[in-house]
């Protein structure tokens, strides 16, 4: 046996092994991830995602929080946080999506919400575009979404980081109020709109904010987002009222109502001047700022523990 | 009786079309004026003007001595009541409630109906025979009953001038006459009445005066006896009428005649008839396309009247006089022009016997003389057999006895 | 006549019913009936300040307002049905509801804030504006032919509705405010709203009733009415004006509540009352009662959640219409 032939043989083996290895890596790399989205759809995510479109403000906030701003190529007209989001291409509103625009932008991934019409989701899928629907119903689910989006968009590490940070903050708040007895937990009424009185019962984010922050939702016996009788509001006599305020002219009508309607004068929250406007964009979105919202509520409900609540218009 | 309604040069145009042109007439208290004319003559428009519902384009209306345009709506309604042609649909009021509406112009804004109002309503319903329906819903009444209730409503207004637009058009004969009686009663009570009638004879039989309207112009106005003559009426409608006198009212009575068809001329027939025997034949023969002549008949004979109406040349003798030789000569000359002579089943008397002599003469001259079989019946003979003898002679000389004209003239030989 | 005597008893009877309804409705709250709440109308000394606020500043004005609005709408509906000689006419036929909705849209979208009567003020002004527009479009010479008015009302109504839809589309996040408004309801009713509606009713009711005889005459048709002495065009103008004011004030304060204005006059007619001298006040009282109870139902059934009262009136209207249809089928 010649030396030359054995060298040649080993080279070939190495070469073939290398080829194999290379092919294997490629195959593995090219293998799509299948993840279940929030509405139970098994979605095949192409890897990696370079062009992402968000169809809701909370999804936009998630994308930005994961430092994926450059990959974001399309947002809705309501996406206003952070500031940079305003400069992105608009593809529609919450329930009216311009399909042509979406297709034009050639996204790899479209992050839809529960408000996106199912037909739009269907059409986009039919056009070969990957759609992932986010629809969290609790803070934990929001965190889960952050993690998922991190994975599917190739920012898994960042996703983990964010998840841990959020969980940490929540634990922090929770622990500081865990010792409080029921009497030490003030009753809170959250006013979304005043004509008619619109509030949030259990199974809502607001309810979680209130409860986790050491308070009690005064309408926790009711479920979801409901309208209540003015009488009932007076009868329930909350200790604290949080009221949604939106930016711009006339965004504080409900707040004005609370301050000026004489019939509310016997309500404890009114008498103690514990009426707090909260930014609608923060408390009503299911994005990473839920933690911020929780913190706001903590300050509102227990300033003695968390510090005074500061509100800027 | 004074003049109540005076109309001078009344005109009205609807966009560019002139609907009424310078009408001038007047109506006294207690006078009934009938308005007649073809469709589209402007009769309804006239009533609307008199009711103050539309404003005249020219001319003036004077009601009760006052110029109408200075009358307030309320004043006008106190004096003038209107019964329209159209009857309200789907009206869920009782008949009594409807009639009570007539008291509207007499009540103040906040006034309730008083006893006197209830009396008037009752009176109005009594004379229109509508008290039976007092509590029935208006919408459940028949067309005629509704019309009567509407008339009652107008009567409840206690008008000085009553206007009616074809008030009898939905009514059966009994109710038509009842309405006319009501109008006559009102008239006797001093109410001035102007009514549009589609039936010419209601005007001629009941009204004092007639206003004949054609295409917006007043063809004539005046007392019925003067103004309603066959020629006027024919001009009005463009149809021939036969004017007679109603046996009871002695007023003119008009019967429209069918328009005569012009077929190919089949020949000329001279009819020997009288006393109505020729009337059915005349019509039949004219329609069949023959031209006719008649003679001799007395004046005032019904055949003579009809012939005149139909424009058929007639040789007449003075009423009740026997036929004179000169008259007979005239008839002979006329008969010469005919192709056929037809003898109708007439009553024969001394007076008209010469007609048979004429026929005999003509048959000898080889004229075709046709004798209707019925004419030979002896019951027609009041000449103690002389007429019969003459007829026999005519037959001997060549006169033909036929069953009836249509069979004879439809067979190929004629 | 015993019928006349019966009639004499009816008005006091109705008034007792109305007062009784107010008394009873006052007892409904918190999802159940409490007689003590009703009795508090007579003696309120034992109430806590909160209870007093609830009973006299929230509940009582609401009960009374629902009565006044129901009465205004029914009164307006009855009068309009008389003027138009058409029983299918409702108080919104002059485009008033669309106009009011548009006013509310403008108020909400523009964010203009002039105090608490901002939305009612805008709604009222636009409602009147739409009525004015309809009058103007519906005028032919010096007259107001009814068919033209109806068409103008439909046209203006559609136009403003389209604008309202546009507004809703643009409203985005404020959409819910608009939707609540257009459904009609008495949430947050206070004495303030009662004061907004009352003056129009105090003037409007006697004025409309004073036209009863003219409205009766209208039943025979405009021509006959005129021949009876009714100044038809003048009556139309006044009636339409007063009804517009009445209905606009009702809609401005409680949104668009359907069916009451259309159905109640029919119910009164079914009772055999056709003379407007009685039809109008009856419609007012009955309509007020109907809406009062509809609202009591709306705020009690799902307590403390409130149903918009418009939903209840619309639902009630359906069986009524089916009944009407059956009746018409029998006597066409």
CA distance B350 to C182: 103
DSSP C55: I
A to C CB pairs, distance under 8 Å: 87
pLDDT of residue A242: 94
Residues of B at the C interface (Cβ-Cβ below 8 Å)?
51-53, 73-74, 76-78, 80-82, 84, 86, 88, 91-93, 97-98, 101-102, 104-105, 107, 109-110, 150, 153, 157
Chain C residues whose CB is inside 8 A of the A219 CB are 304
Chain A residues whose CB is inside 8 A of the C53 CB are 234, 263, 265-266
pLDDT of residue C6: 65
Q: Is C269–B93 a contact, with Cβ atoms under 8 angstroms apart?
A: no
Which regions of chain A are under pLDDT 70? Answer: 1-5, 18-33, 47, 248-250, 313
Contact of chains A and B by CB distance (3 or more pairs under 8 angstroms): no
Chain C residues whose CB is inside 8 A of the B52 CB are 227
* Residue found under tokens 């514990």: A274
Q: Could you tell me if C30 lies within 8 Å of chain A, comparing CB atoms?
A: yes
Stretch (H or E) spanning B211: strand B209-214
Helices (H), B189-301: 200-206, 224-227, 230-237, 279-288
Chain C residues whose CB is inside 8 A of the A237 CB are 50
Distance from CA of B320 to the nearest CA of C (A): 59
CB interface of C with A, residues 145-164, below 8 Å = none
pLDDT of residue C7: 66
Chain B residues whose CB is inside 8 A of the C217 CB are 101, 104
pLDDT of residue C30: 80
Q: How far is CA B227 from CA A287, B139, B220, B221, in A?
A: 101, 41, 7, 7
* Residue found under tokens 């003459």: B390
* Range A53-88 burial, b when 16+ CB lie within 10 A, else e: bbbbbbbbbbbbbbebeebbbbbbebbebeeebeeb
> Looking at the partner chain, which of C49, C59, C111 has a beta carbon nearest the beta carbon of A248?
C111
Q: Is C275–B104 a contact, with Cβ atoms under 8 angstroms apart?
A: no
pLDDT of residue B322: 86
- In angstroms, what is the C-alpha Rg of chain A? 25
B to C CB pairs, distance under 8 Å: 58
Q: Is C29–A231 a contact, with Cβ atoms under 8 angstroms apart?
A: yes
* Residue found under tokens 């033209």: C148
Helices (H), C139-259: 146-171, 175-183, 191-210, 212-218, 222-227, 232-254
Chain C residues whose CB is inside 8 A of the A218 CB are none
Chain A residues whose CB is inside 8 A of the C108 CB are 250
> What integer is the mean pLDDT of B45-72?
90
- What does the block give as tokens for A73? 């190529």
Distance from CA of C229 to the nearest CA of B (A): 4
Among candidate residues A293, A114, A81, A109, the one with its CA nearest the CA of residue A200:
A293
Question: ∠ at Cα C19 (C14, C24), nearest 5°?
Answer: 120
Q: Which subunits have 3 or more CB–CB pairs within 8 Å of chain B?
A: C
Confidence check: pLDDT of B135 > 50: yes
User: How many Cβ atoms are within 10 Å of B318's Cβ, its own excluded?
Assistant: 12
CA distance A50 to C157: 51
Distance from CA of C36 to the nearest CA of B (A): 44
pLDDT digits (tens, 9 = 90+) for B300-342: 888 988 888 887 888 888 888 888 888 898 888 888 888 889 9
Chain C residues whose CB is inside 8 A of the B153 CB are 220, 224
CA distance B74 to B239: 43
Among candidate residues B72, B62, B77, B76, the one with its CA nearest the CA of residue B9:
B62
- For residue A304, the Cα-to-chain-centroid distance in whole angstroms is 28
- Contact present, C43 and C167 (Cβ < 8 Å): no
For residue C183, the chain A residue with the least C-alpha distance is A196
Q: Is A256–C113 a contact, with Cβ atoms under 8 angstroms apart?
A: yes
> Looking at the partner chain, which of B78, B97, B109 has a beta carbon nearest the beta carbon of C210?
B109
pLDDT of residue C177: 75
> Looking at the partner chain, which of A196, A246, A249 has a beta carbon nearest the beta carbon of C306?
A196
B interface mutation test: which of C207, C220, C223, C266 has the most B CBs within 10 A? C220
pLDDT digits (tens, 9 = 90+) for B225-248: 888 888 888 888 888 787 888 888
CA distance B355 to B380: 14
> Looking at the partner chain, which of C210, C220, C269 has a beta carbon nearest the beta carbon of B98?
C220
Paired with A202 in beta bridges are A223
> Looking at the partner chain, which of B74, B81, B93 has a beta carbon nearest the beta carbon of C219?
B93
For residue C227, the chain B residue with the least C-alpha distance is B77
Q: Is C57–A197 a contact, with Cβ atoms under 8 angstroms apart?
A: no
DSSP B371: E
Q: Is B74–C229 a contact, with Cβ atoms under 8 angstroms apart?
A: yes
For residue C209, the chain B residue with the least C-alpha distance is B110
Paired with C332 in beta bridges are none
Q: Is B107–C213 a contact, with Cβ atoms under 8 angstroms apart?
A: yes
Cis peptide leading into residue A82 (ω within 30°)? yes
Q: Left (φ > 0), alpha (ψ -120 to 50) or beta: where does B12 sit?
A: beta
Paired with C134 in beta bridges are none
Q: Which subunits have 3 or more CB–CB pairs within 8 Å of chain C?
A: A, B
Q: Is C228–B105 a contact, with Cβ atoms under 8 angstroms apart?
A: yes
Going by pLDDT thresholds of 50, 70 and 90, the confidence category of residue B66 is confident
pLDDT digits (tens, 9 = 90+) for B79-99: 999 999 888 887 888 999 999
Chain A residues whose CB is inside 8 A of the C111 CB are 248-251
CA distance A303 to A305: 5
pLDDT of residue B414: 44
Q: Is A226–C305 a contact, with Cβ atoms under 8 angstroms apart?
A: yes
> Looking at the partner chain, which of C217, C227, C275 has a beta carbon nearest the beta carbon of B81?
C227
Q: Could you tell me if C57 lies within 8 Å of chain A, comparing CB atoms?
A: yes
A interface mutation test: which of C304, C307, C309, C310 has the most A CBs within 10 A? C304
Among candidate residues A194, A234, A238, A233, the one with its CA nearest the CA of residue A215:
A238
Stretch (H or E) spanning A63: helix A57-65
Distance from CA of C128 to the nearest CA of A (A): 23
Q: How far is CA C186 from CA A135, A230, C114, in A?
A: 34, 10, 21
- Contact present, B305 and B244 (Cβ < 8 Å): no
ipTM of the predicted structure? 0.82
Chain A residues whose CB is inside 8 A of the C54 CB are 231, 234-235
Q: Is B88–C219 a contact, with Cβ atoms under 8 angstroms apart?
A: yes
Distance from CA of C20 to the nearest CA of A (A): 22
Which regions of chain C are under pLDDT 70? Answer: 1-7, 113, 172-174, 328, 330-332
Q: Left (φ > 0), alpha (ψ -120 to 50) or beta: where does B163 sit?
A: beta
Q: Is C219–B86 a contact, with Cβ atoms under 8 angstroms apart?
A: no
CB interface of C with A, residues 254-293, below 8 Å = none
């Amino acid at each position: 046996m010649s030396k030359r032939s054995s060298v040649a043989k080993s080279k070939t083996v190495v070469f073939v092994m290398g080829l194999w290895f290379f092919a294997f890596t490629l195959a593995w790399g090219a293998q799509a991830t299948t993840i279940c989205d929030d509405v139970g759809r098994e979605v095949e995510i192409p890897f990696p995602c370079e062009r992402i479109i968000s169809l809701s403000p909370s999804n936009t906030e998630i994308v930005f929080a994961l430092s994926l701003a450059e990959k974001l190529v399309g947002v809705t007209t309501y996406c206003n946080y952070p500031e940079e989001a305003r400069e992105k291409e608009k593809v529609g509103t919450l329930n009216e999506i311009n399909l042509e625009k979406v297709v034009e932008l050639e996204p790899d991934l479209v992050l839809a919400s529960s408000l996106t019409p199912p037909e739009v989701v269907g059409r986009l899928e039919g056009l070969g575009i990957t759609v992932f629907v986010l629809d969290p119903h609790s803070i934990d689910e929001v965190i889960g979404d952050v993690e998922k989006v991190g994975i599917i968009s190739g920012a898994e590490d960042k996703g983990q980081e964010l998840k841990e940070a959020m969980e940490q903050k929540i634990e922090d708040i929770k622990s500081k109020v865990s010792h409080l007895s029921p009497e030490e937990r003030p009753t809170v009424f959250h006013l979304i709109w005043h004509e008619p009185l619109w509030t949030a019962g259990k199974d809502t984010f607001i309810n979680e904010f209130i409860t986790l922050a050491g308070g009690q939702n005064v309408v926790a016996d009711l479920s979801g987002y409901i309208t209540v009788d003015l009488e009932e509001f007076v009868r329930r006599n909350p200790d604290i009222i949080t009221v949604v305020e939106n930016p711009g002219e006339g965004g504080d009508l409900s707040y004005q109502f609370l301050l000026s309607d004489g019939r509310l004068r016997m309500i404890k929250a009114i008498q103690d001047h514990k009426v707090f406007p909260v930014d609608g964009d923060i408390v009503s979105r299911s994005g990473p700022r839920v933690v911020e919202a929780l913190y706001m509520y903590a300050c509102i409900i227990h300033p003695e523990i968390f510090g005074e609540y500061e509100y800027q218009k | 009786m004074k003049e109540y309604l005076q109309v001078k040069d009344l005109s009205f145009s609807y966009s560019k079309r002139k609907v009424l042109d310078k009408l001038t007439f007047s109506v006294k208290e207690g006078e009934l004026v009938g308005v007649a004319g073809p469709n589209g003559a402007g009769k309804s428009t006239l009533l609307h003007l008199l009711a103050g519902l539309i404003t005249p384009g020219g001319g003036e209306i004077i009601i009760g001595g006052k110029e109408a345009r200075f009358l307030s709506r309320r004043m006008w309604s106190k004096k003038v009541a209107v019964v329209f042609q159209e009857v309200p649909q789907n009206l869920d009021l009782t008949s009594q409630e409807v009639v009570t509406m007539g008291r509207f112009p007499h009540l103040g804004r906040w006034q309730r109906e008083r006893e006197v109002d209830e009396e008037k309503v009752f009176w109005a319903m009594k004379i229109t025979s509508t008290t039976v329906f007092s509590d029935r819903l208006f919408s459940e009444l028949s067309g005629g009953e509704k019309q009567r209730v509407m008339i009652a409503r107008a009567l409840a207004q206690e008008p000085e001038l009553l206007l009616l637009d074809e008030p009898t058009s939905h009514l059966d004969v009994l109710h038509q006459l009842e309405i006319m009686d009501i109008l006559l009663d009102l008239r006797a009570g001093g109410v001035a009445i102007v009514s549009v009638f589609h039936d010419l004879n209601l005007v001629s039989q009941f009204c004092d005066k007639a206003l004949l309207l054609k295409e917006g112009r007043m063809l004539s106005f005046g007392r019925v006896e003067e103004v309603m003559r066959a020629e006027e009426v024919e001009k009005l409608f463009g149809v021939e009428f036969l004017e007679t006198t109603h046996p009871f009212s002695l007023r003119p009575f008009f019967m429209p005649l069918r328009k005569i068809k012009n077929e190919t001329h089949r020949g000329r027939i001279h009819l020997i008839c009288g006393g109505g025997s020729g009337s059915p034949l005349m019509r039949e023969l004219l329609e069949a396309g023959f031209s006719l002549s008649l003679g001799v008949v007395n004046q005032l004979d019904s055949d003579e009247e009809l012939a005149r109406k139909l424009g058929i040349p007639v040789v007449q003798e003075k009423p009740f006089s026997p036929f004179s030789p000169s008259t007979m000569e005239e008839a002979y000359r006329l008969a010469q022009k005919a192709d056929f002579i037809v003898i109708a089943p007439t009553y024969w008397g001394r007076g008209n016997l010469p007609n048979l002599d004429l026929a005999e003469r003509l048959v000898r001259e080889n004229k075709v003389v046709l004798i209707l079989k019925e004419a030979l019946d002896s019951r027609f003979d009041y000449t103690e057999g002389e007429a019969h003898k003459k007829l026999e002679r005519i037959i001997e000389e060549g006169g033909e006895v036929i069953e009836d004209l249509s069979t004879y003239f439809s067979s190929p030989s004629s | 006549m015993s019928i006349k005597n019966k009639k004499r008893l009816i008005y006091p009877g109705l008034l007792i019913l109305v007062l009784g309804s107010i008394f009873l409705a006052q007892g409904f709250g918190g999802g159940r009936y409490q007689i003590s709440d009703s009795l508090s109308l007579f003696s309120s000394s034992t109430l806590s300040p909160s209870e007093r606020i609830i009973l006299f500043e929230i509940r009582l004005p609401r009960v009374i307002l629902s009565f006044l609005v129901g009465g205004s709408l029914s009164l307006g509906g009855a009068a309009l049905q008389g003027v138009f000689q058409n029983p299918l006419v409702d108080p919104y036929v002059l485009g008033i509801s669309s106009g009011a909705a548009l006013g509310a849209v403008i108020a909400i979208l523009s964010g203009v804030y002039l105090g608490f009567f901002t939305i009612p003020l805008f709604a009222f002004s636009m409602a009147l504006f739409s009525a004015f527009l309809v009058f103007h479009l519906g005028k032919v010479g010096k007259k107001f032919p009814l068919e033209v008015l109806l068409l103008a009302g439909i046209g203006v109504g559609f136009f403003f509705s389209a604008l309202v839809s546009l507004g809703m589309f643009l409203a985005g996040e404020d959409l819910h405010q608009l939707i609540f408004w257009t459904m009609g309801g008495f949430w947050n009713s206070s004495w303030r709203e009662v004061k907004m509606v009352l003056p129009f009713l105090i003037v409007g009711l006697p004025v409309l009733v004073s036209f009863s005889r003219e409205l009766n005459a209208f039943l025979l048709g405009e021509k006959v009415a005129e021949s009876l002495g009714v100044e038809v065009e003048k009556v139309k103008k006044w009636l339409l004006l007063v009804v517009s004011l009445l209905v606009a004030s009702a809609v401005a304060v409680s949104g668009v509540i359907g069916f009451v204005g259309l159905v109640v006059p029919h119910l009164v007619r079914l009772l055999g009352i056709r003379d407007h001298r009685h039809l109008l006040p009856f419609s007012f009282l009955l309509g007020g009662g109907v809406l009062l109870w509809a609202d009591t139902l709306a705020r009690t059934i799902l307590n403390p959640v409130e149903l918009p009262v418009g939903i209840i009136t619309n639902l009630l209207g359906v069986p009524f219409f089916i009944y009407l249809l059956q009746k018409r089928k029998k006597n066409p």
